Amino acid sequence: MGGEAAPGRGTGKVKGPEGPTLSSSLLPGEGHSILWRRLDRPGHESGRLFLRGSQWNLTGTAVFANGDQPCRLDYMVLCDSRWQTFSGKISGWVGSQIVEVELSVDSAHRWCLNGSECSAVAGCIDLDLNFSPSTNLLPIRRLNLAVGQEAAVRAAWLRFPGFTLEPLEQLYRRVEASTYRYESAGGRFVADLQVNTAAFVTHYPNFWQAESGT
């Protein structure tokens, strides 16, 4: 999720001796899952991360209220073995509005939204779903920061509820083994994100709290 001031392209990572303790060894059919409760509005979300062949699959379902509108959004984000996003799909509804979003990214990091090229996010590597905490996992896994390191990224941010795609400048700094300081929109939004060994966010202040996970 991007900042409400409103999770690319790594520009500041330097490898160091103290690496993360993120789990990376999965067998076919195995995976990590999590259940979140929303803190800012009624709602829950469940997400799952698993490896299929050489592709990382991030899937989930968010059910929440947007004002007086009931919402259900299913998503799937596919990444290669280096955690670079190459496709995404979001479907469901926001009140009476049916949502069907197809995203694709080519090897030159050119993005298409429902078949139309989005030049504004050209060069971005990570997809950030505005309605979900799940996609913060993508740059965290891709950057693989050691404690004390930071990196700037530029994410392709899928806004909610308009489902438009735009760039969002972000900064991740690993302040502890399980804590990342996240900034976006030029520092107008700052939050300390708690994560588990899968890199799922377990506490996103004022927005999400994990209730269970594997």
Return the percentage of the chain with pLDDT > 70, whole number: 86
Return the percentage of the chain with pLDDT > 90, whole number: 84
pLDDT of residue 24: 55
Distance in angstroms (rounded) separating the CA atoms of residues 26 and 3: 31
125-136 burial: b if 16+ Cβ within 10 Å, else e: bbbbbbbbbbbb
pLDDT of residue 19: 44
pLDDT of residue 22: 60
String of DSSP letters for 104-171? EE-TT--EEETTEE-GGGTT---EEETT-SGGGHHHHHHH-PPTT-EEEEEEEEE-TTT--EEEEEEE
pLDDT of residue 7: 35
Asked if 112 and 103 count as a contact pair (C-beta separation under 8 A), the reply is yes
* 87 membership: H or E segment, kind and range: strand 85-94
Hey, how many other C-beta atoms are within 10 angstroms of the C-beta on 45? Answer: 22
pLDDT of residue 11: 34
- Which residue is listed with tokens 């004390």? 148
Distance in angstroms (rounded) separating the CA atoms of residues 212 and 182: 23
String of DSSP letters for 169-190? EEEEEEEETTEEEEEEGGGTEE
Kindly give the pairing relationship between strand 150-158 and strand 127-129: parallel
Asked if 94 and 44 count as a contact pair (C-beta separation under 8 A), the reply is no
Q: CA end-to-end span of the chain, whole Å?
A: 21
Q: Quick check: pTM over 0.75? A: yes
Low-confidence residues in the chain, pLDDT < 70: 2-30
